[in-house]
Structure 1
Amino acid sequence: MLQTALHFSHTLLKEVIQVGDTVVDATMGNGNDTAFLAELVGSNGLVYAFDVQEQALLNTKKKLDELGLREQVRLLQQGHETIETVIAKEESLSAAIFNLGYLPKSDKQIITKPDTTKMALDALLIRLKPKGRIILVVYYGHTGGEAELALVQEFSQQLPQEEYSVLTYQFINQKNNPPILFCIEKKNS
Protein backbone atom coordinates (compact mmCIF):
# COMPACT_ATOMS: atom_id res chain seq x y z
CA MET A 1 0.00 0.00 0.00
CA LEU A 2 1.24 3.49 -0.82
CA GLN A 3 2.29 5.60 2.14
CA THR A 4 0.65 8.91 3.02
CA ALA A 5 2.85 11.99 2.66
CA LEU A 6 3.31 12.01 6.44
CA HIS A 7 4.42 8.38 6.63
CA PHE A 8 6.66 8.75 3.60
CA SER A 9 8.29 11.81 5.21
CA HIS A 10 9.22 9.63 8.19
CA THR A 11 10.61 6.91 5.92
CA LEU A 12 12.80 9.49 4.17
CA LEU A 13 14.04 10.86 7.49
CA LYS A 14 14.79 7.43 8.98
CA GLU A 15 17.12 6.75 6.05
CA VAL A 16 19.44 9.66 6.89
CA ILE A 17 19.19 10.43 10.62
CA GLN A 18 21.50 8.65 13.04
CA VAL A 19 21.88 8.70 16.81
CA GLY A 20 23.76 11.84 17.86
CA ASP A 21 22.68 13.94 14.84
CA THR A 22 21.32 17.48 14.93
CA VAL A 23 18.02 18.07 13.14
CA VAL A 24 15.26 20.68 12.80
CA ASP A 25 11.49 20.54 13.11
CA ALA A 26 10.68 23.86 11.47
CA THR A 27 6.96 23.67 12.36
CA MET A 28 6.52 21.75 15.62
CA GLY A 29 2.71 21.87 15.60
CA ASN A 30 1.42 19.24 18.02
CA GLY A 31 4.85 17.66 18.45
CA ASN A 32 4.48 14.49 16.42
CA ASP A 33 7.48 15.12 14.16
CA THR A 34 9.47 16.59 17.05
CA ALA A 35 8.98 13.40 19.07
CA PHE A 36 9.79 11.24 16.04
CA LEU A 37 13.02 13.19 15.44
CA ALA A 38 13.94 13.06 19.14
CA GLU A 39 13.66 9.27 19.10
CA LEU A 40 15.88 9.04 16.01
CA VAL A 41 18.68 11.31 17.31
CA GLY A 42 18.63 9.74 20.78
CA SER A 43 19.80 11.31 24.01
CA ASN A 44 23.11 12.42 22.44
CA GLY A 45 21.43 14.21 19.55
CA LEU A 46 19.65 17.55 19.31
CA VAL A 47 16.33 18.63 17.81
CA TYR A 48 15.63 22.32 17.26
CA ALA A 49 11.83 22.70 17.18
CA PHE A 50 10.25 25.98 16.03
CA ASP A 51 6.68 27.30 16.19
CA VAL A 52 5.18 30.75 16.71
CA GLN A 53 2.17 29.52 18.68
CA GLU A 54 2.29 29.00 22.43
CA GLN A 55 -0.24 26.15 22.12
CA ALA A 56 2.13 24.27 19.81
CA LEU A 57 4.93 24.63 22.34
CA LEU A 58 2.71 23.43 25.21
CA ASN A 59 1.37 20.45 23.21
CA THR A 60 4.87 19.45 22.13
CA LYS A 61 6.39 19.81 25.60
CA LYS A 62 3.63 17.63 27.07
CA LYS A 63 4.16 14.93 24.42
CA LEU A 64 7.95 14.94 24.89
CA ASP A 65 7.64 14.77 28.69
CA GLU A 66 5.23 11.81 28.43
CA LEU A 67 7.67 9.99 26.13
CA GLY A 68 10.81 10.90 28.10
CA LEU A 69 12.31 12.73 25.11
CA ARG A 70 12.54 16.30 26.44
CA GLU A 71 16.31 16.36 27.09
CA GLN A 72 17.39 16.27 23.44
CA VAL A 73 14.92 18.93 22.23
CA ARG A 74 15.29 22.68 22.21
CA LEU A 75 11.76 24.15 21.98
CA LEU A 76 11.64 27.63 20.45
CA GLN A 77 8.50 29.76 20.40
CA GLN A 78 9.57 31.66 17.31
CA GLY A 79 9.23 31.36 13.58
CA HIS A 80 11.43 29.14 11.44
CA GLU A 81 12.73 32.26 9.71
CA THR A 82 14.94 32.69 12.83
CA ILE A 83 16.97 29.55 12.08
CA GLU A 84 19.69 31.86 10.75
CA THR A 85 20.13 33.47 14.18
CA VAL A 86 19.50 30.39 16.35
CA ILE A 87 21.69 27.74 14.71
CA ALA A 88 25.37 28.51 14.10
CA LYS A 89 26.52 28.37 10.47
CA GLU A 90 29.09 25.75 11.47
CA GLU A 91 26.38 23.45 12.82
CA SER A 92 25.93 20.44 10.56
CA LEU A 93 22.33 19.29 10.14
CA SER A 94 21.36 15.88 8.87
CA ALA A 95 17.68 16.70 8.31
CA ALA A 96 14.82 19.14 8.68
CA ILE A 97 11.06 18.83 8.29
CA PHE A 98 8.28 21.33 7.61
CA ASN A 99 4.53 20.80 7.68
CA LEU A 100 3.39 23.93 5.91
CA GLY A 101 -0.09 25.27 6.50
CA TYR A 102 -1.74 25.75 9.90
CA LEU A 103 -1.82 24.01 13.26
CA PRO A 104 -4.61 21.40 13.21
CA LYS A 105 -7.54 22.22 15.53
CA SER A 106 -6.41 25.81 15.99
CA ASP A 107 -6.75 29.29 14.48
CA LYS A 108 -6.70 28.76 10.70
CA GLN A 109 -5.70 32.41 10.26
CA ILE A 110 -2.24 31.62 11.65
CA ILE A 111 -0.46 30.03 8.71
CA THR A 112 3.07 29.55 7.46
CA LYS A 113 4.08 32.14 4.86
CA PRO A 114 6.18 31.94 1.67
CA ASP A 115 8.68 34.65 2.72
CA THR A 116 9.49 33.10 6.10
CA THR A 117 9.63 29.60 4.62
CA LYS A 118 12.14 30.82 2.01
CA MET A 119 14.30 32.40 4.73
CA ALA A 120 14.26 29.10 6.65
CA LEU A 121 15.13 27.07 3.54
CA ASP A 122 18.05 29.37 2.71
CA ALA A 123 19.39 29.02 6.26
CA LEU A 124 18.97 25.24 6.28
CA LEU A 125 20.65 24.61 2.92
CA ILE A 126 23.96 26.10 4.05
CA ARG A 127 23.88 23.97 7.23
CA LEU A 128 22.79 20.72 5.56
CA LYS A 129 25.49 18.06 5.48
CA PRO A 130 26.06 15.85 2.41
CA LYS A 131 23.26 13.27 2.06
CA GLY A 132 21.16 15.37 4.44
CA ARG A 133 17.49 15.95 3.62
CA ILE A 134 14.94 18.71 3.98
CA ILE A 135 11.35 17.45 3.87
CA LEU A 136 8.47 19.81 3.18
CA VAL A 137 4.91 18.52 3.47
CA VAL A 138 2.81 21.27 1.89
CA TYR A 139 -0.85 21.54 2.89
CA TYR A 140 -2.21 24.05 0.41
CA GLY A 141 -6.00 23.80 0.59
CA HIS A 142 -6.40 27.02 2.58
CA THR A 143 -6.11 30.75 1.89
CA GLY A 144 -2.43 31.47 1.22
CA GLY A 145 -1.58 27.80 0.68
CA GLU A 146 -1.29 28.01 -3.10
CA ALA A 147 1.26 30.85 -2.83
CA GLU A 148 3.39 28.81 -0.45
CA LEU A 149 3.16 25.74 -2.66
CA ALA A 150 4.30 27.86 -5.62
CA LEU A 151 7.27 29.17 -3.61
CA VAL A 152 8.37 25.67 -2.54
CA GLN A 153 8.02 24.34 -6.08
CA GLU A 154 9.96 27.21 -7.62
CA PHE A 155 12.64 27.12 -4.90
CA SER A 156 13.10 23.37 -5.37
CA GLN A 157 13.21 23.51 -9.17
CA GLN A 158 15.91 26.19 -9.12
CA LEU A 159 18.33 24.17 -6.99
CA PRO A 160 21.35 23.09 -9.08
CA GLN A 161 21.11 19.40 -9.93
CA GLU A 162 24.88 19.02 -9.46
CA GLU A 163 24.40 19.81 -5.76
CA TYR A 164 20.86 18.62 -4.93
CA SER A 165 18.33 15.96 -5.81
CA VAL A 166 14.69 16.96 -5.38
CA LEU A 167 11.74 14.58 -5.22
CA THR A 168 8.02 15.34 -5.12
CA TYR A 169 5.44 12.86 -3.91
CA GLN A 170 1.72 13.33 -4.21
CA PHE A 171 -1.55 11.55 -4.77
CA ILE A 172 -3.06 13.00 -7.94
CA ASN A 173 -6.49 11.37 -7.85
CA GLN A 174 -7.59 12.43 -4.36
CA LYS A 175 -10.07 15.16 -3.45
CA ASN A 176 -9.61 18.08 -1.06
CA ASN A 177 -6.03 19.08 -1.94
CA PRO A 178 -4.00 16.21 -0.46
CA PRO A 179 -0.60 17.39 0.79
CA ILE A 180 2.39 17.35 -1.53
CA LEU A 181 5.74 16.20 -0.19
CA PHE A 182 9.04 17.67 -1.37
CA CYS A 183 12.37 16.11 -0.41
CA ILE A 184 15.58 18.06 -1.03
CA GLU A 185 18.71 15.95 -0.64
CA LYS A 186 22.18 17.43 -0.67
CA LYS A 187 24.59 15.44 -2.81
CA ASN A 188 28.13 14.56 -1.74
CA SER A 189 30.40 17.56 -2.18
Structure 2
Amino acid sequence: MSLEPLHDITRLRGPVPLVHLLLRHFVRSGGRAVDATCGNGNDTLLLAELVGPTGRVWGFDIQQEAVDGTARKLAAHGLGERVTLVAAGHETMAGRLEAGLSAVVFNLGYLPGGDRSIITRPATTAAALEQAQSLLAPGGIVALTVYPGHKGGDAERHMVEEWAARLQAPLFHVWRMGQTNATADAPYVVIAQKGV
Protein backbone atom coordinates (compact mmCIF):
# COMPACT_ATOMS: atom_id res chain seq x y z
CA MET A 1 0.00 0.00 0.00
CA SER A 2 1.52 3.29 -1.07
CA LEU A 3 1.44 6.28 1.26
CA GLU A 4 1.50 9.71 -0.40
CA PRO A 5 2.41 9.97 -4.09
CA LEU A 6 5.74 11.70 -4.68
CA HIS A 7 4.21 14.20 -7.11
CA ASP A 8 1.59 15.42 -4.61
CA ILE A 9 3.16 18.77 -3.79
CA THR A 10 -0.16 20.24 -2.71
CA ARG A 11 0.47 18.59 0.65
CA LEU A 12 3.80 20.39 1.11
CA ARG A 13 2.52 22.45 4.05
CA GLY A 14 4.88 22.58 7.00
CA PRO A 15 8.17 20.82 7.59
CA VAL A 16 7.11 17.18 7.95
CA PRO A 17 5.93 16.76 4.34
CA LEU A 18 9.21 18.32 3.23
CA VAL A 19 11.16 15.77 5.28
CA HIS A 20 9.05 12.97 3.80
CA LEU A 21 9.80 14.23 0.30
CA LEU A 22 13.54 14.09 1.06
CA LEU A 23 13.32 10.67 2.71
CA ARG A 24 11.77 9.28 -0.47
CA HIS A 25 14.99 10.23 -2.23
CA PHE A 26 17.52 9.03 0.35
CA VAL A 27 15.98 5.83 1.73
CA ARG A 28 15.94 2.88 -0.66
CA SER A 29 14.78 -0.71 -0.57
CA GLY A 30 17.14 -2.77 1.57
CA GLY A 31 18.24 0.30 3.52
CA ARG A 32 18.46 0.80 7.26
CA ALA A 33 16.92 3.81 9.02
CA VAL A 34 15.98 5.17 12.43
CA ASP A 35 12.97 7.11 13.61
CA ALA A 36 14.49 8.70 16.71
CA THR A 37 11.11 9.99 17.94
CA CYS A 38 8.23 7.67 16.97
CA GLY A 39 5.46 9.99 18.12
CA ASN A 40 2.29 9.01 16.25
CA GLY A 41 4.22 6.65 13.97
CA ASN A 42 3.96 8.52 10.67
CA ASP A 43 7.72 8.80 10.07
CA THR A 44 8.24 5.18 11.16
CA LEU A 45 5.54 4.01 8.75
CA LEU A 46 7.07 5.87 5.82
CA LEU A 47 10.54 4.53 6.60
CA ALA A 48 9.18 0.98 6.84
CA GLU A 49 7.58 1.33 3.44
CA LEU A 50 10.75 2.78 1.90
CA VAL A 51 13.21 0.15 3.21
CA GLY A 52 11.10 -2.65 1.74
CA PRO A 53 11.02 -6.26 2.90
CA THR A 54 14.81 -6.60 3.04
CA GLY A 55 15.48 -3.38 4.97
CA ARG A 56 15.20 -2.51 8.66
CA VAL A 57 13.89 0.40 10.72
CA TRP A 58 14.40 1.12 14.40
CA GLY A 59 11.91 3.37 16.16
CA PHE A 60 12.64 5.00 19.52
CA ASP A 61 10.35 6.77 21.96
CA ILE A 62 10.38 7.28 25.72
CA GLN A 63 6.59 7.07 25.90
CA GLN A 64 5.05 3.61 25.82
CA GLU A 65 1.89 5.22 24.42
CA ALA A 66 3.84 6.33 21.35
CA VAL A 67 5.53 2.94 20.90
CA ASP A 68 2.20 1.09 21.20
CA GLY A 69 0.45 3.46 18.79
CA THR A 70 3.26 3.11 16.28
CA ALA A 71 3.09 -0.69 16.55
CA ARG A 72 -0.65 -0.61 15.83
CA LYS A 73 -0.13 1.67 12.81
CA LEU A 74 2.59 -0.59 11.40
CA ALA A 75 0.47 -3.72 11.95
CA ALA A 76 -2.49 -2.11 10.20
CA HIS A 77 -0.29 -1.64 7.13
CA GLY A 78 1.37 -5.06 7.37
CA LEU A 79 4.81 -3.55 8.00
CA GLY A 80 5.48 -4.48 11.62
CA GLU A 81 8.05 -7.15 10.77
CA ARG A 82 10.37 -4.52 9.24
CA VAL A 83 10.61 -2.42 12.40
CA THR A 84 12.20 -2.85 15.81
CA LEU A 85 10.45 -0.56 18.29
CA VAL A 86 12.40 0.51 21.36
CA ALA A 87 10.75 2.05 24.43
CA ALA A 88 13.81 4.11 25.32
CA GLY A 89 15.36 7.47 24.57
CA HIS A 90 17.00 8.16 21.23
CA GLU A 91 20.27 8.77 23.07
CA THR A 92 20.56 4.97 23.42
CA MET A 93 20.65 4.22 19.68
CA ALA A 94 24.42 3.74 19.35
CA GLY A 95 24.31 0.83 21.80
CA ARG A 96 21.58 -0.91 19.79
CA LEU A 97 22.66 -0.74 16.15
CA GLU A 98 25.62 -0.55 13.82
CA ALA A 99 26.76 2.10 11.38
CA GLY A 100 25.50 2.20 7.80
CA LEU A 101 22.18 4.03 8.18
CA SER A 102 20.50 5.75 5.25
CA ALA A 103 18.58 8.16 7.48
CA VAL A 104 17.94 9.15 11.06
CA VAL A 105 14.77 11.19 11.54
CA PHE A 106 13.98 13.42 14.52
CA ASN A 107 10.60 15.09 14.98
CA LEU A 108 11.33 17.12 18.10
CA GLY A 109 8.96 18.53 20.71
CA TYR A 110 6.09 16.59 22.24
CA LEU A 111 3.76 13.78 21.22
CA PRO A 112 0.89 15.34 19.25
CA GLY A 113 -2.26 14.76 21.25
CA GLY A 114 -0.21 13.60 24.24
CA ASP A 115 1.15 15.12 27.43
CA ARG A 116 2.81 18.40 26.42
CA SER A 117 5.02 18.36 29.51
CA ILE A 118 6.90 15.35 28.10
CA ILE A 119 9.22 16.85 25.50
CA THR A 120 12.51 16.12 23.83
CA ARG A 121 15.35 17.76 25.76
CA PRO A 122 18.54 19.43 24.52
CA ALA A 123 20.91 17.15 26.47
CA THR A 124 19.48 13.85 25.26
CA THR A 125 18.85 15.14 21.74
CA ALA A 126 22.46 16.39 21.54
CA ALA A 127 23.74 12.95 22.55
CA ALA A 128 21.45 11.31 19.98
CA LEU A 129 22.61 13.68 17.22
CA GLU A 130 26.26 12.88 17.90
CA GLN A 131 25.46 9.17 17.68
CA ALA A 132 23.33 9.62 14.55
CA GLN A 133 26.07 11.40 12.63
CA SER A 134 28.52 8.59 13.40
CA LEU A 135 26.01 5.88 12.43
CA LEU A 136 25.26 7.31 8.98
CA ALA A 137 26.45 5.66 5.80
CA PRO A 138 28.19 7.98 3.32
CA GLY A 139 25.44 10.00 1.64
CA GLY A 140 23.00 9.32 4.47
CA ILE A 141 21.04 12.07 6.20
CA VAL A 142 19.99 13.24 9.62
CA ALA A 143 16.64 15.01 9.24
CA LEU A 144 15.29 17.12 12.09
CA THR A 145 11.99 18.90 12.39
CA VAL A 146 12.53 21.59 15.01
CA TYR A 147 9.64 23.17 16.93
CA PRO A 148 10.81 26.35 18.70
CA GLY A 149 7.29 27.57 19.52
CA HIS A 150 6.64 25.52 22.68
CA LYS A 151 8.06 25.65 26.20
CA GLY A 152 11.57 24.22 25.97
CA GLY A 153 11.59 24.36 22.18
CA ASP A 154 13.74 27.47 21.92
CA ALA A 155 16.54 25.91 24.00
CA GLU A 156 16.45 22.82 21.80
CA ARG A 157 16.53 24.98 18.67
CA HIS A 158 19.73 26.67 19.87
CA MET A 159 21.33 23.30 20.61
CA VAL A 160 20.41 21.97 17.15
CA GLU A 161 21.76 25.09 15.43
CA GLU A 162 25.04 24.84 17.37
CA TRP A 163 25.37 21.12 16.54
CA ALA A 164 24.71 21.78 12.86
CA ALA A 165 27.20 24.66 12.72
CA ARG A 166 29.96 22.41 14.14
CA LEU A 167 29.63 19.85 11.32
CA GLN A 168 32.55 20.51 9.01
CA ALA A 169 32.20 20.67 5.24
CA PRO A 170 32.90 18.61 3.17
CA LEU A 171 32.41 15.88 5.78
CA PHE A 172 28.79 17.06 6.12
CA HIS A 173 26.49 19.25 4.04
CA VAL A 174 23.97 21.02 6.26
CA TRP A 175 20.78 22.79 5.24
CA ARG A 176 18.17 24.75 7.18
CA MET A 177 14.77 24.98 5.50
CA GLY A 178 11.69 26.81 6.69
CA GLN A 179 8.75 28.73 5.35
CA THR A 180 9.62 32.36 4.73
CA ASN A 181 5.98 33.43 5.10
CA ALA A 182 5.59 31.96 8.60
CA THR A 183 6.25 33.34 12.07
CA ALA A 184 9.75 33.33 13.56
CA ASP A 185 8.86 30.50 15.95
CA ALA A 186 7.32 28.28 13.25
CA PRO A 187 8.73 24.75 12.85
CA TYR A 188 11.52 24.22 10.35
CA VAL A 189 13.83 21.50 9.02
CA VAL A 190 17.55 20.91 9.43
CA ILE A 191 19.14 18.32 7.13
CA ALA A 192 22.71 17.10 7.55
CA GLN A 193 24.05 14.82 4.84
CA LYS A 194 27.24 12.84 5.41
CA GLY A 195 29.74 13.37 2.63
CA VAL A 196 30.34 10.61 0.12
Query: TM-score, length-normalised on structure 1?
Result: 0.95
**Alpha-carbon contact 2:94-2:135 (below 8 Å) kept:** no
Matched, 1:163 2:171: yes
SS of alignment partner, residue 59 of structure 2: strand
CA distance in 2, matches of 1:122, 1:51: 18
How much has 1:176 moved relative to structure 2? 7.8
1:60-139 equivalences in 2 (<5 Å): 60-88=70-98, 91-139=99-147
Amino acid paired to 1:83: M
CA distance in 2, matches of 1:87, 1:114: 22
Matched, 1:151 2:159: yes
Alignment partner of 1:35 out of 45, 49, 52: 45
How much has 1:177 moved relative to structure 2? 2.8
CA distance in 2, matches of 1:13, 1:170: 17
CA distance in 1, matches of 2:71, 2:85: 8
Matched, 1:172 2:180: yes
**Alpha-carbon contact 2:102-2:141 (below 8 Å) kept:** yes
CA distance in 1, matches of 2:184, 2:123: 25
CA distance in 2, matches of 1:174, 1:184: 23
CA distance in 2, matches of 1:175, 1:122: 29
How much has 1:148 moved relative to structure 2? 0.3
CA distance in 1, matches of 2:182, 2:100: 38
Q: What's the CA shift string for 1:162-182, capped at 9, x where partnerless?
A: 201001111133248321100
Query: Structure 1 stretches of 5 or more lacking a match?
Result: none
Amino acid paired to 1:65: A
Query: Structure 2 stretches of 5 or more lacking a match?
Result: 1-8
Give the count of matched residue pairs. Answer: 186
Query: TM-score, length-normalised on structure 2?
Result: 0.91
Q: Which runs of 4+ in 1 moved over 3 A?
A: none
Question: Which residue is equivalent to 2:6?
Answer: none
Cα RMSD of the aligned pairs, angstroms, is: 1.3
Identity %: 41
CA distance in 2, matches of 1:80, 1:58: 16
CA distance in 1, matches of 2:194, 2:88: 26
Alignment partner of 1:55 out of 65, 81, 101: 65
Question: Which residue is equivalent to 2:54?
Answer: 44
Amino acid paired to 1:172: T
SS of alignment partner, residue 78 of structure 1: coil
